[in-house]
Structure 1
Amino acid sequence: MNINKVKIAGFSNIDNVELNLKKINSLIALNNYGKSNVIKGLDFGIDFINNSPKTRDKMMSFKPYIPYNKHIDNRAFEFEVELNTEINNEKFEIIYSYAFDWIKNDKEKGQIIISELLKIKNVAKETKFKTYIKRDITKANFLPSETARCSKDIKVDRNELVINKLQNYDDLFYLQIVDVLNEIDIASVDTLQNPDDLFKKIRIGDKENQIVKNDYSLSMSDARNSAFFIYSLMQKDVQMYELYKDAVLTLLPSLMDFEPIEVDLKEQFSFNDEERKLPLDFPEKIYDIRIKENNNNQQTSITSLSSGSQKIFYVISIAIAAEINKVPLLTYEELENSIHPGLLQKLLIILDNLLEYTKIVLSSHSPYLIQYLNFENIKIGVPNEKGLACFRELKKTKFKKLLSLADDENISVGDLIFEKMIENIHLDESFFNEMCS
């Protein structure tokens, strides 16, 4: 699966944002301009597809995300994803969208899915998209067979999605595509301003840490337990572990070496009466990463490193977990936190080389990111008089002029754009109207 485009509307202070996804993408803006809301909107839009009707009821009434800006306070939430996938050696392009009304004072009107649309094109056989699901607030239809001339009605409740219900139709001729849409997943890494706890405890919610595990795992959920994941990587995928180790040592030249370890507490101590064979011996193991630094006289735990160094271990491990688990999209909020600008550039290059399947979306308020990425991979957050999140792409025809303007002022392009952002707080949009699409 390859996600090519995502659209989000009616979410927090977002009126309408469209992301055309390349390998590494970035949302650049000053603080409090909505870049984090775009990341949250991506998570929310995918979670809505994957959750139960009961949970969707709660999502459609979730206060932090309901638009209360007066210019969009009656806007429905809209989500659209364009992707391509290969099934049985055939390539398909897919457009799927849905919309719902947020909860209203009038209980009869809000908290209801109001539209849903699925279009599919077999790349080898068709030149145009064909509609497979069409729904509005009154009815829902789906295409029951390849030869059908008209769509068949399907009954869905106000909080149900047709795409979920069709998973029960075992003889549906496009069931595999339906399954692909129900399995869309993205992974997110937050700002990590204080990442000191990444290697000290299991970072898993919903009581997942109470599940007994007696084998190593490279799943995305286990990637949050960094030391365990890195140890599992060493045990299960030696080639990827070597790539991981090389990446970390390249970014942290003060390290001579490191190695993840496993300590079995039960091997360290046992009572005299614990000789019988057990049907299940509860594992009690601690994981750490042992570090040897150039100028230290002894090895230490990874927790003795700086927050920025620990973050590099974590950021790269999450990217590798996403690639291994074929997660199509990975988001990082403010990746530059705790990382030196020089290392940030190297980190982006390493991520670009490591990832083939997974794309990345970064949110940032750093001018350095602008000079480290291709201009076409960047969306600029432009202030506006309505107070809405507005992200615009730089025009390709203006790239040379941007470089020339920055050179004239003897500053980087990133610093130039951020200076114009600050000036634009006073709503002089002339620069961005000229430079952005």
Structure 2
Amino acid sequence: MLSPVQAQTDHRQLDREFQAAVSDYNSGHFRAAAARLQKLVRELPDSFDVQELLGMAYVAQPQDSKATAHLEKAVQLNPKSAPARTNLATNLIRLGKLGPAEAEFKKAVELEPDSYDTVHNLGEFYVTAKKISEALPYLEQAQQLKPSSYDNGYDLSLACLHVGRVADARRQVADLLKQKDTAELHNLLAQIEEKDGNSVAAANEFQAAAHLDPSESNLFDWGSELLLHRTLDPAVEVFHKATGRYPNSPRLAIGLGMALYSRGNYDEAVKSLLRATDLDPADARAYLFLSKAYDSSPNQAEDVIQRFRRFAQLQPENARALYYYAMSLWKGRRVEDATLDLHQIEDLLRKAVALHPAYAEAHQQLGNLYSDQKKYTEAIPEYLKALERNPDLGDAHYRLGQA
């Protein structure tokens, strides 16, 4: 049995070791802190402070799986600590354990219902989990507790927008803009105005956001808004400048291609969309718009065919990839062209409908291929399948009548 003097000496040594661990942690030396605390926790397994700090030292490294047991032990030792429950909840989120995390956040709010941080954290959790309706009451409560909070106010505005409370969202953003004039607020206000049908106001706010912060995202949003409402010359200008600033952005190249196509600049549109496919060869959107632009501009046939061939090779189980490749071959080379391989086109279209039997356009084009070769017996079933899947295909009705 230790004498009182020895016990006091040991206690002081343990306390010095703990303070050294705290110093290591606060200095960012998390491994050193964890090493000290691992020794301490064997001596003081029921110390809330040691268990909590060791858990946080593991979190900071990050070694979340190691942290959980210590953070859980800390909560067991001090179940009325809202910060401890919040730390555990945050750790559980990082491990993908959303149900237990939600329970800890809720318990923290029960313990400290008037704490901005605990209430906001639960609201933020629901926002991250895309449970907007559940988030709203907590975000509103947090805003009442701390009306000057920018982060909570932004989340509250976004949540109101998502549930259709447009007026509340606009009012909240207006309050925030009085505190801080930021690009993200103007971008959010633009989304609010768009939701409310105010396209001119939306475009102006997207423009304001892009001027404050000409990021790739803000420029894309501005150009897309102009394109959506067919303000074509400004849309082309915005996307053109944006692609100059961010030449490696696939979606900006797509946006420029779409804007040019909508304005009737088909050759330039194809060039921009070809560029988009090179920037991200796996992005199906670029090929969709390239196929549309190519219909109006066959002048770059070989380049287009090469891109669709690559797409089909990258995604051989993608019915649309095979369809696009087949149609690019067919459109790019006239029937009298000796290099035109109708059997290859047929094979690609047949594979496309096998992969996606409900693909009406592929059935229609397969019917057209047979019909052009006067193979009406094969053409008729394809037209019937096309019309069964999409009765609005006028050309299929006409071709079926001819067949």
TM-score interval (norm. to shorter): under 0.3
- Between 1 and 2, higher relative CO (CA 8 Å, sep ≥ 6) is seen in 1
Which structure is higher in helix share?
A: 2
Which structure is higher in strand share?
A: 1
Q: Which TM-score applies when normalising by structure 2?
A: 0.24
